Structure formats: C-alpha cells, structure tokens
Chains A and B, each alone.
Chain A
Amino acid sequence: MSESITLQAIDLSRRFGQNLAVANISITVPRGTRVGIVGADGAGKTTLLQMLAGILDPSSGSCRVFDYDSRRQSKKIATRIGYMSQGFTLYDRLSVDENLEFFARLHDVTNEQYQLRRNTLLQMAGLTAFTQRPAGQLSGGMRKKLSLCTNLVHEPELLILDEPGLGVDPLSRRQLWEMLDRFRQQEVTTIVATSYMDEAMRCDRVLLLQDGKLLADSTPDSLLEQLKGRVFSISFDSATAPEEVVAKALRRIQGTHSIQRLPDRFRCVTDDAEFEKRVASELRTNITVKPAAPKLEDLFVLHSGEQFGEKPLDLTTLAPKKYNSGVRTENLSIRFGNFTAVDGVSLTVDGGELLALLGPNGAGKTTMIRAFCGLAVIGEGSAVVAGEAVSTTNRNLKRQIGYMSQKFSLYLDMTAAENLAFFANLYGLSGKVAQTAIDWASSVTGLNVPLQTLATELSGAVRQRLALACSILHQPAVLFLDEPTSGIDPISRYRFWDVIRTLVSAGMTVIVTTHYLDEAAYCDRLALMMSGRLISHGTRDELAHSLALAPDTDMETLFLQAVARATSAEQVGGVV
C-alpha cells in the first residue's frame, strides 16, 4: 500500500447473529479525499464506519488503515485517527476547556502544542466565549462542534464522522462544515456518514449503502447525471383538480418512486421516460408537468427500487369534526427565572394550515410548543389553541391537541399494538371505538408492520410512524410535531410529509419545528424565531420578498439572511 492511500478495505462483511449488517464492501480511499456514506436508517453506515476505524472487527474481509491491519493493530490506528460517534462523547460535568484538555492528554499532546491548537480550534468553533461552561449546558450545535474539536486536537490524519449534522441547527451545521473544509486543506482524509444530502454534495465521492450492500460509488455530480429526465414537478389548479385527485392519479402511474407533496405542487421521481404523457392521459385538467432540478436525495429514492404508489392512503374515515380551528397568540412571553425563552410572540395560524417553526437551537421553538401543549407556564400574553385558552390546568385543551416529540416517546418494551391501545385508552377510547381509531391511524400513517413487534425492534422510521399514529388516534384539531424527522432516511421523510399534508388537507392544523430546512418547503407558511422572538412570518415567497431576495432562493440562504438581518437590527437597536 503506497503512501498516498489512507485506507483500503477488501470484501468487508459484518454479521450480527443472523443479520448481515455489512456485505462485501471494498473501497480504497486516497489521502486527502472526503468520502460521504449515504444510506437509510439501518443500511449499515455506523457498522461500516466502526470497522474502518478499527473499533469493530469484521466478520470477514480485511481493512488496512495507514498500512496497519484493523484487527491486529487497531491501537496504532487509534492514535492517528479521530472518530466521532453519533451519540455525544463529552463529559457533561466538565467544562469546554476541561473536555478539550482531557482528550488532548489522552492523545499525548504536549502542553505547547495544546495551547496553540486549543485557541485555533475554539475560535473556529465559535466557543471562545464559553470555555468555562459545563458541556452539559451547551446547545446541541455547540456540543457537536466541541465534540469535533476533541477529535481534532491531536491532528488526526483520518477523520471518521458518524452523522455530524444530526439534530444540529443550520447555523451550527454550516460552522461545522467550515471547520471540516479548513482541515481538508491540510490533507486530512475524511469519511462522513450523513442523511443530509447537502452534506453528501460536499464530498469528493459518495457511497450509496442499502441493506449493507454498496449500491453506487461515484462523484456526486455523476450521480446527479443519472437523474436527468427522471424528476418532475407537477403543478395544478386546485379549483379544477383537487389535490387529492391529483395525488391519486399520480399514484396510479407505474414506475413512480416518490411523490413529494408540496403546498402548491407535486414533485415526482420516476423510472418512466414517458412520464409527462402518462400524467396528461391520467389527468386531463389544468396541470403542468415540468422537469425539476434533481437532488441527490432523488437518487437515493431511485436506487432504493421501492415503488411509492402501491397503497393509497385511506382517508374515508377521517371525520371532518371540530377541525378548522387553529392557534392564536398575543404578545406571548415565557420566562424561566431571568431567562426569557419566548419573548412577546404574536402569531396566528389558521385552521387547516401547516406552519413550520424555524430557528437556531435555543430560539424558543420547543418552549413555545410545550406551552401550547400546556407543559410550560405562560408568563405574559395569551394563547388560544383549538378554541381553548392555553394553561397548564386546562384539560379540555389536551383533548384537542396531539404532540409528537423528537424522541418518538414510545414504550420500547411494549409492542406496537400495546402502545397504540395504551394511548387510545388515555384519550378515553376503548373497545370497538379504540380499535376503529387504531385501524384508522395505522392506515393513515402507513404503519404496515406486524403489530405484535416490540417497539424496540422497530427501525427509526417505523417508530416515527408509530409515534405519529399514537399522537393522532383521537383526531386532534391541532397537531404539534417537534423535530419529527430527525435521523430518518429520505424516503421515509417523503412518506411522512405525504401523511402530514393529507392530514392538513382534511382540515387538521399542524405546527412543526424542523432543522431540515428543505422540509420547510412542505409547509404553507414559515415562522422564523431567534432568541425567543418571532423575526419573520409568512409564505416562502413573502419572506423572500421582504428580504429582497429572488423568489426561488434556497431555504438555507433565506434562513441565514433573515437571522443575519435580525442580528444586525438587534445590534443597531442596542446602540440607540
């Protein structure tokens, strides 16, 4: 193996009992390249990374890192690599400084070297002001950045990162990647697993993993090339062609891999070269089919080979009951001691509207949703949700709302059926009524697993569907979703949003917080929050207009511009 090759894996496989997690993967990584590993939940990304880092021994095949054998010389490999796992690897009670110093000591970094690197790293990570703060009190984004610093302090030649962007707000994620770009210039080889497609686009090479097998290994650009003529945008006039009619028609078309349902149009990935004609023959009304700009995400959808249209959602039993009541707040403030988490927010969400609540970590989104659910005490102002005044004691409010948290709060030691029955009981549903509700919620969410499976054995994507089913059993008027798609693969995300749009079209009001800015595209309106305040509110086009940006500006730019403007306004305000 020559000097210019950092890592070479031949026929790498790993079994866990009967389950083949990684199957016969061979890769060669030249020095200084950045390799992205993309795959669905459970595709084998983490297992592969652990084998490459020498943490996990392969069942068969071999892996050489810097010409060391990963089985027998893993200690030698460990001194020259940085491995950042998905979970946090920091000591919560130690301060930022102490954490960093601890990892430096572990790697025998000398004092002079440490002082030098410490300052550079902390500056890059924007943590200079927080060196004395315990790691446990940092926001999610800051923790990820510190975690990256602890893996860079010994200047590794190979950096292996497992989903670094997971649960991190866009601003922190951008800084994280800026740090990685700096180290790339110093010829650090990077292998990064990700479920963010924009992160995959920043790599030299992308490995597409499915069920432990390597589906594709090429540059992001050449992969995108494969998508030419496969992605379409379908816009329609809802007066002559209702959304549901169009959705059904699209599902009928053979070879359709995905249907993304956006507020004003659909976006499809298809195998069918004649797609435009077929749509025209299925639907003769006013619809326009145009080729759409492909994304790496679509490629993943295409390669997964799954067909989307098999089972249309059954909404016949969704009763149009007390719907069409939304959320209204006036000058809402929530305080914890001296800290103002939500600061004078006035917001109106109409019934049957899908609103995305966006903002960096710590902007107050989750606190506001918790207050709407009666979990946080309102300091000043008022809020009305589904016609009920919001307070921690109003139990009528709780019958009207559904809530799904980031953690998919299920009982893992109970089966899917037991979870559903339990939550049905909590809403006072029992016997046949409960069974009808469970059947309905399972079919709406596409929960097609055997219900006798323990929740702990379900994949993340299925747990997400189960959690959603549990939270809509009682057909709430307003549904709150806190980071509902964290760590879920693209296809499952498409499906999830399809379900949500279906619920919204039936009149349910949905408020969602998300870090995936792309997902804001599914929402009717956006509300941007920062430091507890509502800094911007409206449709995507309205936001772009108010920031003097082009209407088709991508979400991330829009978001960062709005944040930048609010920050500068604050500074000016401070001077005045």
Chain B
Amino acid sequence: MPVAFIGLLRKETIQFFRDRVILGLILWLYTIEVVICAMALSFDVENVPMAVVDQDRSVLSRTLLQKFALSQSFDLKHQENDVSVAERHLTRGEVTTIFVIPPGFERSVRAGNQAKVQFLQDGTDSNIAANSLYYAKGIVNAFVREQFPQSRDTNVVSVTRIWYNPQLTTANFMVLSMIALAGMMVGVIHPAASIVREKERGTIEQLLVTPISTMQLFLAKLTPTMIMGILSVFPSLLIVRAFDVPLRGSLALFLALTGVFLLSAIALGVLIASYSRTLQQALLLSFFGLFPVMFLSGTLTPVESMPVFLQALSYLSPLRYYMDIITGIFLKGAGWMELWDETLSLLAIAVPMLILALAVFRRRLK
C-alpha cells in the first residue's frame, strides 16, 4: 500500500477514536437504543385495559371473568352493571375493550343451547384490536373446553406449531431490526459527517493540493466506516443474548454480509456528503435518504402488505435484504446456500451506488 494511503487511514482512525461524542453515540445506538426499541415497540398484546359488564351474575359468568382477570393479556379496570356506563369508559379511552355477559348466560349454556357473549372493541389501533380479540376468543374457548370437556368436537383436532419464533414474541424481531437500522444509520452518517467536516474546516482543500488521488481519498473515507461498522455489531450481540434471541447460524457469515450491506450505506453517505456544504445539511439529507430506505425495508410493516407500486420500490432498499439476512442467520440458522440471492441483490445495489458515489465525489471536489 502506498505511504499516502496508509497515512490517510491512520488519520481517519486517530480522528475516529478521538471523537468521544461519536464513539458514545455509536455505542448507544447499538445497545441502549436496541433495548429501548425491543421493549417499547413490542407488538405483543399485554395488559389491555378492559371493562366488564356481567348481567348474568351467575357462578359460570364469574368463573369466566376470573379467567380474564388472571390472564396477562387483559387488565380489568372497571366492572359495571350498565353497558352504556361501560361505553363511556371506552369513549374516554380508559379502556379499549368491553366484555359483556348477557342475562341468562349460564341458563342457556346448561340447557345446551348456544350462549353468546359480546366484545366491544376500540378499533382505533387496528393491530391491537385484532390481537386482543384473538386473545379474548382464546380465553373463552379454553374456558368452554375446561368446563364442558364432553362437548368437545373430537373429529377434528388442529395442532398449531410455530417455527423459528415459537413464543411468537416480537422482541426477537425488533432487536434484530434495530441492529440492522443502527448499521444503516452509522453507515450513512459517519462517512457523510467525516467528509463534510473537512469541507467546513477547509482541510479538504489542503488534501487536494497534495499528490494523493481522489480514489485514495474515497477509499480512505470508506474503509474506517466499514471496519467500525462491523466491529460495532459486537456490543449488540450482548443485548441479543440478554433477550434470549438465538444465534442459530454462523457469526462469521453475519459479519461478512454486514460488510456487504454497509457498502451501500456508505455509498449513500458519500453521495450525501458530496452535495452538502455543512453538517446540518448532511444530517437533514441523511434523514431524507434513511426514512424511505427504512419504510420500504419491511422492518415496520411486512412488504407484502404494501401497495404493489411500493412493493416494487422495496426491492431497491438494501435494508430489505439485510433484514432477511439477519433474521435468517439468527432465527433460522440460514447459511450461505440460503442467503446467496440476498447477497447478490445487496451487491447489485451497492456496486452501482459506489460507482455513482465515486463519480459524484470526484466531480464535486473539482
């Protein structure tokens, strides 16, 4: 390697380790932020506030209410006699679900007739509404089976098994997506900031009057982010442990594919830096770039539920493939054989972007 390039690399490394703020931020992003994200953005239904109206006041109805009171999913906030009073709690947002047991519930059950109970659901957040309804039905079904084992339909028994995430916890998924997001953010913002800072201080001009080539400068800006982006995955692995997320596949493959993913993030960062004059501009532009990449990745909502037009666009988001890779390696134990097409897709995005970034970087520096 030429002396000048080694010098450039050494300088970038010194600057990186001397900037305590950036170091702290990266560590924060890969640890605390991952924890916050996993805990706060959980889609599991827990402690749904509920009002109950028991108009039957029978032994059976009380036993059923007991089931709800004992479940993790619901939190019995109010017990009313009148449905209209319970509805007021719903309107005020104190509860999101009302469970009504009509008069004669026990009688019709004992008589072998069909008995009905009613759920009134606040549908503002459709996700929570659907989930809590699903949980409520489960509780009622379990109750019926327990109370009347003889009435069970013995002809068809469906046994459901869920693979890769048997507890169906969203925490596993959220921890992994936050790690992917952190990689994206650092990959874009770090090279952008380090280039723009040189523009602001005027040091870039000083570099340009020396005999180094723009290619060397470009590579020197790319390499440290790459190495650092791969290394900063390690603190996250501790968090992954803490959340009991399994690592079923190979760590080496994960690190290698993280590097491939970072290529496109860095290319985006260099592009942004080439068009910005100040750090503020670079950060704002980064967010312009980061949000669509994130929205289209399938991290927040499944790609399949997007409009067709956006589904097509989502093929351009490197994060989409990286999410498949990261969940594949961690949860499914996927190896190279399963992930080669994602890898090729990442390269198909990264290589043209890098070429474009280099061209723009060259042109804008002149």
Contacts and interface: CB of A to CB of B under 8 A. Distances in A.
B19 A398 contact: no
B337 interface: no
A409 B19 contact: no
Q: How large is the interface on A (under 10, 10 to 19, 20 to 34, 35 or more residues)?
A: 20 to 34
A423 B209 CA distance: 11
Contact of A414 (B11, B206, B208): B11
Given A409-B201, A414-B18, A425 B4 contact: yes
B201 to A, nearest CB: 6
A91 interface: no
B203 interface: yes
B6 A425 contact: yes
B18 A427 contact: no
Given A373-B209, A413-B18, A426 B7 contact: yes
Interface in A320-346: none
B211 A399 contact: yes
B100 to A, nearest CB: 61
A402 B6 CA distance: 21
A428 B18 contact: no
Contacts of A33: none
Nearest to B365: A375
B2 interface: yes
Contacts of B241: none
Contacts of A375: 205, 208-209
B15 interface: yes
Given A398-B210, A425-B3, A425-B7, A413 B15 contact: yes
A7 interface: no
B209 A403 contact: yes
Contacts of B201: 407, 409, 411-412
B83 interface: no
A97 interface: no
B281 interface: no
Contact of B206 (A392, A403, A428): A403
B303 interface: no
A545 B122 CA distance: 94
B207 interface: yes
A396 B18 CA distance: 34
A405 B199 CA distance: 13
Contacts of B208: 373-375
B339 interface: no
A371 to B, nearest CB: 12
Interface in A380-411: 392, 395-396, 398-399, 401-403, 405, 407, 409-411
A409 B4 CA distance: 18
Nearest to A413: B18
Given A375-B208, A427-B210, A407 B202 contact: yes
Given A414-B18, A426-B212, A430-B3, A409 B206 contact: yes
A405 B205 contact: yes
A373 B15 CA distance: 27
A355 to B, nearest CB: 18
A424 B11 CA distance: 12
A421 interface: yes
Nearest to A434: B3
Contact of B202 (A374, A377, A405, A471): A405
Contacts of A411: 11, 15, 201, 203
A427 B4 contact: yes
Nearest to A423: B210
B203 A425 contact: no
A395 B14 CA distance: 27
B17 to A, nearest CB: 10
A429 interface: yes
Contacts of B170: none
A407 B3 CA distance: 26
A379 to B, nearest CB: 14
B161 interface: no
B92 interface: no
B81 interface: no
B92 to A, nearest CB: 47
A103 interface: no
Contacts of A399: 211
A401 B209 contact: yes
Nearest to A399: B211
A418 interface: yes
A485 to B, nearest CB: 17
A385 to B, nearest CB: 11
B219 to A, nearest CB: 14
A425 B202 CA distance: 19
Interface string B30-64: 00000000000000000000000000000000000
Given A392-B366, A422-B10, A409 B211 contact: no
Contacts of A402: 209
Contacts of A421: 7
A414 B209 CA distance: 20
A426 B213 contact: no
B271 to A, nearest CB: 22
Contact of B11 (A374, A418, A429): A418
Contacts of B15: 411, 413-414
Interface in B330-366: 366
Nearest to B7: A425
B14 A414 contact: yes
Of the listed residues B201, B209, B366, the one surrounded by the most CB atoms of chain A closer than 10 A to its CB is B209
Contacts of B205: 375, 403, 405, 409
Contacts of B207: 426
A410 B11 CA distance: 12
B4 A405 contact: no
Contact of B7 (A392, A405, A422, A471): A422
Interface string A457-477: 000000000000011000000
B211 A398 contact: yes
B4 A426 contact: yes
Contacts of A412: 201
24 contacts: A373-B208, A374-B208, A374-B209, A395-B213, A398-B209, A399-B211, A403-B205, A403-B206, A407-B201, A409-B206, A411-B201, A412-B201, A413-B14, A413-B19, A414-B18, A418-B11, A422-B11, A424-B7, A425-B4, A425-B7, A426-B7, A427-B4, A427-B210, A428-B211
Given A403-B209, A426-B8, 19 more contacts: A374-B209, A395-B213, A398-B211, A403-B205, A403-B206, A405-B202, A409-B201, A409-B203, A411-B11, A413-B15, A414-B18, A418-B14, A421-B7, A422-B7, A425-B4, A426-B7, A427-B211, A428-B211, A470-B206
